[in-house]
Amino acid sequence: MNIADRLTKWRPDSGLSKEWFQGPSFLYDSMENWPQQPLPPANTKTEMRAMYLFHDVVLPETLIDVTRFSKWNILVRTVASVLRFNSNCRRKLRRDPIETLKPTPNQLKKIMVIIPTIRVPLTQSEYHQAEIILFRYAQSPAYGDEIKTLTKNQELEPSRWMHLEKSSPLYKVTPLLDCDKVLRMEGRCDMADTLPFDMRFPIILPKDSIVTELLVRHYHESFGHAFRDTVKNEIKQRFLIFSLNSVVAKAERNCVWCKVHKNRPRTPRMASLPVQRLTPY
């Protein structure tokens, strides 16, 4: 009895009939003679149950308050020093000499009375472990469900692997977990053995994390406040950051040096300055 079907669904008698203008014929009859449709039963036996989804992703605890730092190299060095303290606690139980940095004379007198010490600067391995802790700290809140799925896939056969949700921001980048539980991207360069490991499998970082902000600011300052494309190119050789252009632009806007020298003309001396390369800590 739907008059709209006359135009939307073809029939031999399709067209603007009398019913199109005047409506169905039963409308002109008394309501007692109108066609009746049975109503659904008042009470249904179907039980409606609510579904709950519980997430059991354990977020790593931070050793320090990351928001208190304004420079990436100081943050990494602080976390490495905390790892050195943790290592020295174990060495003290084994009665091994404690590895220290350059202590003050008063600290040296107090330490030498209790247990011998040896002066050892922070090693590259400790810096590397500190970076891993910071990367995992930045990835866990943003990609907790993805990390949980990839962790479970490591215990299953490839035929039984679980796939990421299509709504996940990492659905199209083929993520994987390395031996340090750091989230990386598997791309087309994974078979290029001549390239560094970080370039073949870049580390995925969220754009809204304080760790990402400090890292991008460190690259911006380390390369002499260079142009935005230079900083983006250097970051892409090791990291995958979504909306990288906006993140680099934000670091450039918040840079004090750029605010002071933005409107100054570039002199020949400034233009000839070499770009500062990124060096180890």
pLDDT of res. 257: 82
Nearest to 60 by CA among 134, 149, 129, 170: 134
- In the predicted structure, residue 110 carries a pLDDT above the cut 80: no
Q: How is residue 43 annotated by DSSP? A: S
* Position 180 pLDDT exceeds 50: yes
Calpha distance 218→58 (Å, rounded): 29
Query: Closest by alpha carbon to 56, among 143, 148, 153, 125?
Result: 148
Domain ranges of the chain: 72-122
Q: Note the pLDDT of residue 52.
A: 63
Asked if residue 281 lies in contact with residue 78, where contact means CB atoms within 8 angstroms, the answer is: no
Between CA 262 and CA 80 the distance in angstroms is 35
Average pLDDT of the chain is 81
pLDDT digits (tens, 9 = 90+) for 231-276: 999 999 999 999 999 999 999 888 888 877 765 555 444 444 454 5
Q: Answer whether 255's CB lies under 8 Å from 225's CB.
A: yes
Tell me the C-alpha distance between 183 and 136, whole Å: 8
**Given this model, what pLDDT does residue 269 score?**
45
CA 31, chain centre distance (Å)? 65
Residue in 144, 216, 221 with CA at minimum distance from that of residue 175: 144
Element (H, E) at 273: none
Residue 59's pLDDT is what? 57
Residues ≥6 apart with Cβ < 8 Å to 213: 247, 250, 251
Percent of residues, the chain, with pLDDT higher than 90 = 31
- Residue 66 pLDDT more than 50? yes
Among 14-18, 110-114, 147-151, 239-243, where is mean pLDDT lowest?
110-114
Burial 201-237 (b: 16+ CB within 10 A, else e): bbbbbbbebbbbbbbbbbbbbbbebbeeebbbebbee
pLDDT of amino acid 271: 44
Residue corresponding to tokens 């539980």? 181
Q: Looking at the DSSP assignment, which residues form a beta bridge with residue 176?
A: 184
Kindly indicate the confidence band of residue 158, based on its pLDDT and cuts at 50, 70 and 90: confident
Which has more confidence, 270 or 71?
71
- pLDDT at residue 193 is higher than 90: no
16-58 per-position pLDDT tens digit: 667 777 877 888 888 888 888 777 666 666 666 666 655 555 6
Give the torsion sign (CA, 125, 126, 131, 134).
Answer: positive
Query: What single-letter amino acid sits at 48?
Result: M
Pick from 127-136, 143-152, 260-269 the range whose average pLDDT is largest: 127-136
DSSP characters over 202-265? PEEE-TT-HHHHHHHHHHHHHTTS--HHHHHHHHHTTEEETTHHHHHHHHHHH-HHHHHHSSS-
pLDDT greater than 50 at residue 154: yes
* CA distance readout (Å), 72 to 66, 76, 155, 205, 216: 10, 6, 35, 15, 9
pLDDT band at residue 82 under the 50/70/90 scheme: very high
Q: Specify the pLDDT at position 263.
A: 58
How many CA atoms lie less than 13 Å away from 149 in the CB half-sphere?
A: 16
**pLDDT at residue 20, as a whole number:** 74
- Among 58-67, 161-170, 193-202, where is mean pLDDT lowest? 58-67
Q: How many helices (H) and strands (E) does the chain have?
A: 12, 6
Decide which of 129 and 117 is more confident: 129
Helix or strand or coil: residue 31? helix
